[in-house]
Structure 1
Amino acid sequence: MKNLNIKTLFLLGLIVLLGCEKKEENFEREASIDVEAAATVPLSKVRVQNEFGKYFEALDTICAPYLRYTTKMDISKIPNETFVSTLQDGNLTMTLSFGDDSSPRKYNPTTTGWWRNWNESPYVEEKNPHVLITSDWSTTTITLSKKCYVFGFEMSALLNFSSDDPVVYGASYLDTDRLPDDRPIGRIYQEVKSPGGARLFAVKSAIPFNRVTIYFTEGSATFTRAYAITNLRYVTSKKIFEQHNN
């Protein structure tokens, strides 16, 4: 076990040194990580779908440049168990809604809730974050008041504890000014589970977008009772995007 842990730490260090971006044509890499109650199993592959053939990259791990050049929408000061329909920081407003027009609910860090042991670095920013939780596995739409070149969030799903099979969620990125052409600019897909299986959903896109849709795609949907998101980050500046798009 000691040798396994040393190898795991070495691999994680190597991943961080190599960077945190995952191009569309290069998303086959897998890595393993020890997480309490989550088992030492390979993490899933990130799938990227580019609809327009422009620059569109997924980020699959947290790294220092991503934390520096993005702006984080802080939810930590929102009172516990508050329903949240909008988030704003003076620069950007995010409007959140489900298919039934309800809103997610904010919860504080926990040692007992299903979102405990969120995951470990470099896959997430922190092990026990403040989160926004849905009531079920409905589609969530995030409407942005300004177009973004970079947008990211972390996500995990509540699973039926009689089955630890992961489920797959997708995120699509749309520029509503292109309507009635309602094709998203791109999509990404990640396997998530709980506890310990939160993943980063983040993209950088040469075509800016103002709507992000999060939705269930694969797995045992009847075993999924809710999902949570946190650490929403963004970039609205084209200049900043161009400095970090390679």
Structure 2
Amino acid sequence: MDSDRVLQVSVATGVATLTLDSPANRNALSRAMRAQLRDALLEAIADDAVRAVVLDHTGRVFCSGMDLSEAAGGGAQDQGVREFPELLEAIWSSPKPVIAVVRGPARAGGVGLLAACDVVVAATSATFAFSEVRLGIVPAVISAVVLPRMVPHVAHRLMLTGQVFDAEVAAAGGLVDLVVPEADVDGEVRAQLVHLTAGAPAALAETKRLLRVRTPALHFDSLLELSARYFASEEGQEGIAAFREKRPARWVPGRD
């Protein structure tokens, strides 16, 4: 087995399953993860035998967001944010439907990853958070795919507070489509795939194009600059250091 592989890929009965497989770092969006996921998705889109894509994960965590071990001490060009939009855009604009399967926590960029998908199935035990502001950074890039999905006032509160919220709140806010007990997740995904693959491929692709009138690509340039600037800022680097050192950031009241 390739020790550098952080993504499992399988294709069966018209479904490509892309499984985030880096549980040791909570399936973080490392450079390797972003590259492998993007390449696998593009291959699935190009494969005429694939009718739908499933984005799943191993381990307890769906995705913890950007790999902060790669983001400490670098400049804006090193923060890994500049290719992340390519991945979100590929999912968002895929002519084949993409289902996200969330069995555990999703944070920051991980929330953006699932928000770009067409259907999100979550276990009742899944939790979510826009944790960026607590790290001194901004949820700029993911806003391009999160905001079209979510009820505006819910997104407003959750992005500003950075608080953890459960699957029921995520569903009520539009981030998640279906919430089921963990034991029923696979069955619900199979049921959704039956419905999605019952449609004609060209008609599905055109329908998705109509539904995706607002394309994130139109906004990514300015969002990238904002995100990179805050990753490299004094606040951003302090927030990342505090997270890694498991201590309050210096702006937290009463931290001493």
Per the TM superposition, whether the score is higher than 0.5 is no
Q: For this structure pair, what is the TM-score category when the shorter chain's length is used for normalisation?
A: under 0.3
Q: What TM-score do you get using the length of structure 1 for normalisation?
A: 0.26
Give the number of the structure whose residues are more often helix, by fraction: 2
Higher RCO (CA-CA < 8 Å; seq separation 6+): 1
